[in-house]
Chain A
């Protein structure tokens, strides 16, 4: 057991080390990055580095953009997939049900690269290039979310909705009063997954935004890295810290729900 524990601790350290080292370098002066042997204690230059990175690529604006689109997409996807899953599980069969279900499943097979040119042309036709609509609306539908909620709703005893129906409650009332409060774990888990997905999106913001004010923080990292001279790692890592702290905080807040919704899903 001791050997296993040592191994696990070592593996964990190796996995976390890159993040710790990034934080470490973000606290150093430019020259301190290059000393040998490498400095292992934090320096005092973090706020200075962050401020310079902040000014160089307008980090504040980029972070606000990323946060805005990530929250909007996570909320949009969660709402739309709850509604869709509700329609599929709690109504008597309606014409076209299977076809519509397949249409939602098919989104799994259409990641952005397989439709990138026409989707970009569409943004152009809509006049959405370099807009927040372009960064959010095309992402609102979610096969993952619809499947997640459908699967969860199927585990809830039908007696519950039957009772609501007999009592004269309409479907929407049942959804809001009974079903949503039971779904908090799954709501939080899906919000987490989709927030991270959108915060970390790179290719679409790269092609669909054209002005500095509309850029997102991922592109800001690239702007910090892309210099001809020797990379200013301390500055770059200050930007990396700024880009990784918000999603880490969201992860810390919601990971319990995430882990729980995975283990629930596997019991069936």
Chain B
């Protein structure tokens, strides 16, 4: 008990603002979302009719919803795989502490400051079918000039690139911090024993990095699932033909365009299950604590 203050009321008073905000704006609405998911709510009268699990049944059997789930998973896998591999490679290069280290570290963080909507707008410019530099380069090198706004596969790829780019800065900074925590002696000892640089990386550095990698895996997954609405809205609005319609975009359509609040809430509950799985993974597997975990 050394260094702790006595207090009957004060700790509660200090916690009150946080708990009040959480209760009113998070917990109560979350429970209400669960209740609403069992109702069919009329867009016109707001009157709800209890329908049991019918909303969930409709979602599970809906082609559109299943397609949206598939798009979201593809999108998330793309963002996580590209983002983690790319930023780990750059972080390894930066961790060599070449001249100008401070400048590189600062500049590489910049995309973190941008919003998904801004990132999406910039990449829409880069891939503009007539003037975009990426399009121009692609045409010069391969002779192809795909119009990504008309082709679902390309559209998904372009949104994945834009979303990945925005997270690079964040990922690189965390990987760099992790790399700097790898004991130098360990690497040197392995090198003395005749292990090559590649072997040292995979056998020593990468395992020590695993808590950071895992933390970033969870953060990037949550980002891909929940925080790219603005990017999609600016770039494709879910098109062409639903090719980039991630779950949150579908949810927005049903909730605020069609005002189908029951089925939208059922979608919220399914999303909650997905966050739950990711969060539990985080708590179960994260061995070492990382800040912001």
Contact = CB atoms under 8 A, between A and B. Distances in A.
A200 interface: yes
Contacts, number: 317
A75 interface: no
B4 A161 contact: yes
A64 B159 CA distance: 29
B226 interface: yes
Interface string A32-48: 01101110000000000
Listed residue (A19, A146, A157, A261) with the most chain B CB atoms within 10 angstroms of its CB: A19
B contacts with A: majority SS: helix
Contact of A92 (B6, B107, B119): B6
B173 A259 contact: yes
Contacts of B32: 115, 118, 121
A113 B205 CA distance: 37
B14 A87 contact: yes
Contact of B15 (A87, A158, A218, A267): A87
A149 to B, nearest CB: 11
A167 B125 CA distance: 63
Contact of B25 (A4, A21, A119): A119
Contact of B121 (A104, A236, A247): A236
Interface in B1-38: 1-8, 10-12, 14-15, 17-19, 21-30, 32-33, 36
13 contacts: A8-B93, A21-B122, A92-B7, A100-B19, A109-B276, A113-B251, A158-B2, A158-B4, A165-B3, A165-B5, A203-B252, A218-B118, A261-B291
Given A110-B272, A147-B292, A247-B113, 14 more contacts: A22-B122, A36-B136, A91-B7, A91-B10, A104-B22, A117-B265, A118-B30, A161-B4, A172-B10, A201-B115, A221-B121, A240-B121, A240-B122, A251-B110
Interface of B: 1-8, 10-12, 14-15, 17-19, 21-30, 32-33, 36, 89-90, 93-94, 96, 98-99, 104-119, 121-126, 128, 130-131, 133, 136, 165, 168-169, 173-174, 177-178, 180-181, 212, 222, 226, 229-230, 233-234, 247-248, 251-252, 255-256, 261, 264-265, 268-269, 271-272, 275-276, 279, 288-293
| 8 pairs of A and B residues whose beta carbons are closest in the complex | A265-B291, A158-B3, A202-B230, A200-B115, A118-B32, A118-B29, A87-B14, A161-B3
